[in-house]
Amino acid sequence: MLKSTIVGDEFLNHDDVDVRVAVAACLSETLKLTSPDPPYHHDTLEDIFSLIVSSFKNLDDMSSPSYEKRISILQSVNEVNAWAVMVGLDYSLVVPPSSAAELLKILENISKCLLKLQKAEMEPEFDLYWFVLFKSMRVLTKEDILNHEDVDVRVAAAACLTEAMYFTSPHFPFTRQELRDVFIIMASSFEGLDDISSPSYEKRIYILRNFDELDLWRIPVGLCYYQPLAKLPQTFLTTIREHHPKEVFEAMRDMIIGVVPYVTDQALTTILTYLRKGAEVPQVSRKLAEEALSNFDKFSYTLTNFKKNLIHAVISSGFSLEDYSDIVAKICGGKLQMFTLWPLIG
């Protein structure tokens, strides 16, 4: 009777913080006694998780009348896999879900768990902090998730990974092979950025923001694994749309600029495809290509080398300089009608 009474809204969301901490203490003991099979529905476990996380916000206040209870809660959930139980991690580790819908629900729980940890302002030295993070990453790098046939599952996993990597950037607790797999699943999520009707559209935008903010596009550089990196300019130029927020356009532009020094030939060839006069490409894609080139001063190599590489890319394309947007000739330093390519090579 007690276990069902204290999960009512009047207890979980009580106005008095000390009452909420007392409820959290009772619930943490219940989870400790009933683990690994808590007597609560998933939705209720989510509310319990939120309450318990919130109880850690004032662990530094020893004068609080609830200080001892907060310590007790911390100890209780640390003794058992209560965190894993609350977000469904134990279940997903032992029994692979039989449907994409079930797996999406687990991934949504993991995502909420990680986001709440960010907002809880917990000190990272807490064992529980790293326990949840480690458990999450182990689940997210399972092969049956990274290679799941359902695209929405893969995007949801990629979103969780960017949230988990928020805590550890720029050092990630993965093997080299896992890092490759993680990068591929995150980068592949951008392939549907042009589909605003997709149920995963908002998650793709979210991943892109984190990808840019945390410089996750640099992962292959450290691995000397450039093949997936070379695909980013093509993916961005293909999927950019007029309806995208300005920050999406700018994130794509900056990442294209960033990858050019590492995959110069492939990146410049791709960019030139969108700058050829008469090419049937979306105007916003052409604008993205132009802005990437016009910000060439941000590239991490000399202007001379950049010009040389751009000229080489033009020659390799089989088209003349006059076939491209004016920005190409401007960067190369000549006029369209008078520009001679060959003397500048070598």
State percent of the chain over pLDDT 70.
78
For residue 254, which of 308, 203, 216, 311 has the smallest C-alpha distance?
Answer: 216
Reported as a single tens digit per residue, the pLDDT across 133-144 is: 666 677 778 888
Instruction: Report the pLDDT value the prediction gives residue 155, as an integer from 0 to 100.
Output: 95
Instruction: Report the pLDDT value the prediction gives residue 276, as an integer from 0 to 100.
Output: 94
pLDDT at 80 over 60: no
Instruction: Report the pLDDT value the prediction gives residue 42, as an integer from 0 to 100.
Output: 65
Q: Tokens 């300089």 belong to which residue?
A: 321
User: Which is higher by pLDDT, 39 or 227?
Assistant: 227
Cβ pair 74, 56 in contact under 8 A: yes
Reported as a single tens digit per residue, the pLDDT across 243-265 is: 999 999 999 999 999 999 899 99
Instruction: Report the pLDDT value the prediction gives residue 119, as an integer from 0 to 100.
Output: 63
Instruction: Report the pLDDT value the prediction gives residue 172, as an integer from 0 to 100.
Output: 79
Instruction: Report the pLDDT value the prediction gives residue 285, as an integer from 0 to 100.
Output: 97
Average pLDDT score, the chain: 81
> pTM of the prediction?
0.72
Instruction: Give 237-299 as a DSSP string.
Output: HHH--TTS-HHHHHHHHHHHHHHTTTSHHHHHHHHHHTTBTT----HHHHHHHHHHHHTGGGS
Instruction: Report the pLDDT value the prediction gives residue 192, as an integer from 0 to 100.
Output: 93
User: Long-range contact list for 194-203, CB < 8 A, 24+ apart?
Assistant: 194/238, 194/239, 194/240, 194/241, 196/241, 196/243, 198/152, 199/152, 200/151, 200/152, 200/155, 200/156, 203/155, 203/156, 203/158, 203/159
pLDDT at 237 over 60: yes
Q: Is the dihedral of CA 49, 125, 162, 92 positive or negative?
A: negative
User: Which is higher by pLDDT, 62 or 276?
Assistant: 276
Instruction: Report the pLDDT value the prediction gives residue 85, as an integer from 0 to 100.
Output: 53
Instruction: Report the pLDDT value the prediction gives residue 73, as an integer from 0 to 100.
Output: 81
Residue 55 burial class via C-beta count within 10 angstroms: exposed 0-12, middle 13-18, buried 19 and up: buried
- The size of the chain, in residues, is 346
Reported as a single tens digit per residue, the pLDDT across 315-333 is: 899 898 889 999 998 888 7
Instruction: Report the pLDDT value the prediction gives residue 121, as an integer from 0 to 100.
Output: 55
Instruction: Report the pLDDT value the prediction gives residue 137, as an integer from 0 to 100.
Output: 73
User: Which is higher by pLDDT, 40 or 93?
Assistant: 40
Instruction: Report the pLDDT value the prediction gives residue 339, as an integer from 0 to 100.
Output: 44
pLDDT at 16 over 80: yes
Reported as a single tens digit per residue, the pLDDT across 150-184 is: 999 999 999 988 888 877 777 777 888 888 999 99
Rounded to an integer, the average pLDDT of 37-55 is 75
Instruction: Report the pLDDT value the prediction gives residue 288, as an integer from 0 to 100.
Output: 97
Reported as a single tens digit per residue, the pLDDT across 106-133 is: 788 778 777 766 665 555 445 555 556 6
Instruction: Report the pLDDT value the prediction gives residue 128, as an integer from 0 to 100.
Output: 54
Instruction: Report the pLDDT value the prediction gives residue 286, as an integer from 0 to 100.
Output: 96
Q: How confident is the model at residue 284 (pLDDT cuts 50, 70, 90)?
A: very high
Rounded to an integer, the average pLDDT of 197-218 is 93
Pull the structure tokens for residue 324.
């491209």
Rounded to an integer, the average pLDDT of 40-65 is 77
Can you say whether residue 88 is alpha, beta or left, with left for phi > 0 and alpha for psi between -120 and 50 degrees?
left
Cβ pair 281, 274 in contact under 8 A: yes
Q: Is 343 helix (H, G, I), strand (E, B) or coil?
A: helix
pLDDT at 84 over 50: yes
pLDDT at 335 over 50: no
Q: How confident is the model at residue 222 (pLDDT cuts 50, 70, 90)?
A: confident
Nearby residues of 98 by Cβ (< 8 Å), 6 or more positions away: none
Pull the structure tokens for residue 335.
């006029």
User: Which is higher by pLDDT, 60 or 71?
Assistant: 71
